[in-house]
């Protein structure tokens, strides 16, 4: 028996990387009986008589997992964010970051299409970069030729499992092709007229880049609705969490409470007004959300 990581899942076969080699396996029937689906990224135990024949025996506990794409144990996500076409949105980026925080995945914000900005517009994105760096995030803002930015991003893949996310048209496939030209992914710009992204199913697999594993999926987009309570939202804004100990009340949600440190910092321009505005908006949304009951089929 040996241990490894599921590298690729395709038509009932699971390719497992172990000791630098890839073994093809099938899952034992008891996984199906127990309704357990092995996922790319799972750390597993397996046995094999050859590189092409083996069985998946055990799945170790997952640190996290995603539904779309079906993948597990992700360390970090590159949040591909366009500055124009589609235009930048604080609200969308903040929702994406919250989704990652909930899944315990470290975000890396990468701005695309910066070559389309004039000097004044670029200056504005320096300000945006400062906001997110002050909140505790890694931000890459390419200037001119983005070869240097791509190299900086690739360096972050070392010994990590990475997935991409971003809205349609943000340039995920274009960026992945720059990182690893052999991928030759179809870009959204080319196929936008035929875009049926929500319904396409394809194999999920990793590619090895700079001693790390990168999921060559078009990214994931599970940031429309959050399955959290309104009073939990504060924990997913790192800059709020870091300063909440200074609030007068221990359970302060930074909305109407007196002597709230977060509101004081926002008023004094020590924290972002845009981020706080998004927080209040999402807080109200979650607070007023009606419970969804699963209907019997």
Residue ranges of the domains in the chain? 2-61, 66-215, 230-287
Q: Is 247 annotated as a binding residue?
A: yes
Q: Is 263 annotated as a binding residue?
A: no
Q: Is 260 annotated as a binding residue?
A: yes
Q: Is 215 annotated as a binding residue?
A: no
Tell me whether the omega of the peptide bond preceding residue 86 falls within 30 degrees of 0, making it cis: yes
Rounded Cα–Cα distance for residues 159 and 92 (Å): 29
**Is residue 206 predicted with pLDDT exceeding 70?**
yes
More confident residue, 184 or 57: 57
Instruction: Decide if 244 contacts 232 (C-beta within 8 A).
Output: no
Average pLDDT over residues 159-167: 91
Q: Is 188 annotated as a binding residue?
A: no
> Which CATH fold would you assign to the domain 2-61?
OB fold (Dihydrolipoamide Acetyltransferase, E2P) (2.40.50)
Quick one: CATH architecture of 66-215?
3-Layer(aba) Sandwich (3.40)
CA distances from 276 to 25, 127, 268, 280 (A): 49, 16, 13, 6
Q: Is 208 annotated as a binding residue?
A: no
Q: Angle, to 10 degrees, between the axis of helix 147-155 and the axis of helix 172-179?
A: 80
Which among 236, 238, 239, 231 has a CA at the least distance from the CA of 286? Answer: 231
Which among 21, 20, 166, 131 has a CA at the least distance from the CA of 174? Answer: 166
Q: State the pLDDT at residue 66.
A: 85
Q: Is 104 annotated as a binding residue?
A: no
Q: Angle, to 10 degrees, between the axis of helix 90-102 and the axis of helix 273-287?
A: 60
Q: Which two tokens stand for residue 35?
A: 């309704």
Q: Is 25 annotated as a binding residue?
A: no
CA quadruple 55, 58, 60, 66: dihedral, nearest 10: 60
Tell me whether the omega of the peptide bond preceding residue 69 falls within 30 degrees of 0, making it cis: yes
H or E element that contains 280 = helix 273-287
pLDDT band at 231 (very low <50, low <70, confident <90, very high): very high
- Tally of helices (H runs) and strands (E runs) in the chain: 9, 13
pLDDT band at 219 (very low <50, low <70, confident <90, very high): low
**3-state percent helix, strand, coil for the chain, nearest multiple of 5:** 35, 25, 40
- Measured in residues, the chain has a length of 297
Q: State the pLDDT at residue 234.
A: 97
Q: Is 72 annotated as a binding residue?
A: no
pLDDT band at 290 (very low <50, low <70, confident <90, very high): confident
Q: Is 201 annotated as a binding residue?
A: no
Mean pLDDT of the chain: 88
Q: Is 94 annotated as a binding residue?
A: no
Q: Is 4 annotated as a binding residue?
A: no
CA quadruple 64, 234, 281, 90: dihedral, nearest 10: -60
**Pairing relationship of beta strands 161-165 and 106-112 according to DSSP bridges:** unpaired
Rounded Cα–Cα distance for residues 15 and 27 (Å): 11
Q: Is 115 annotated as a binding residue?
A: yes
Domain at 230-287, CATH from 3.30.210.10, 3.40.50.1110, 3.30.420.40, 1.10.40.50: 1.10.40.50
């Amino acid at each position: 028996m040996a241990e490894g990581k599921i590298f690729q899942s395709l038509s009932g076969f699971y390719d497992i990387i172990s000791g630098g080699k890839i073994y093809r396996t099938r899952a034992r029937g008891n996984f199906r009986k127990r309704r357990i689906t092995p996922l790319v990224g799972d750390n597993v135990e397996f046995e094999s008589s050859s590189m092409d024949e083996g069985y998946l025996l055990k799945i170790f506990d997952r640190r996290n997992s995603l539904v779309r794409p079906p993948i597990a144990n992700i360390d970090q996500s590159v949040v591909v964010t366009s500055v124009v076409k589609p235009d930048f949105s604080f609200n969308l980026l903040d929702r994406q970051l919250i989704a990652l925080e909930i899944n315990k995945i470290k975000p890396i914000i990468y701005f695309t299409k910066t070559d389309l900005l004039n000097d004044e517009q670029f200056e504005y994105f320096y300000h945006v970069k400062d906001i997110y760096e002050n909140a505790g995030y890694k931000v890459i803002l390419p200037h001119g030729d983005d070869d240097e930015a791509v190299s900086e991003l690739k360096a972050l893949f070392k010994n990590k499992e990475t997935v991409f996310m971003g809205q349609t048209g943000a340039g995920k496939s274009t960026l992945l092709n720059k990182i690893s030209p052999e991928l030759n992914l179809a870009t959204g710009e080319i196929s936008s007229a035929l875009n049926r992204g929500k319904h396409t199913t394809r194999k999920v697999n990793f590619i090895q880049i700079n001693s790390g594993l990168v999921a060559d999926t078009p990214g994931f987009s599970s940031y429309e609705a959050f399955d959290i309570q309104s009073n939990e939202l504060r924990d997913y804004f790192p800059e709020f969490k870091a300063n909440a100990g200074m609030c007068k009340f221990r359970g302060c949600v930074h909305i109407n409470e007196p002597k709230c440190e977060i509101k004081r910092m926002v008023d004094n321009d020590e924290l972002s007004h845009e981020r706080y505005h998004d927080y209040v908006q999402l807080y109200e949304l979650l607070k007023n959300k009606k419970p969804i009951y699963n209907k019997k089929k």
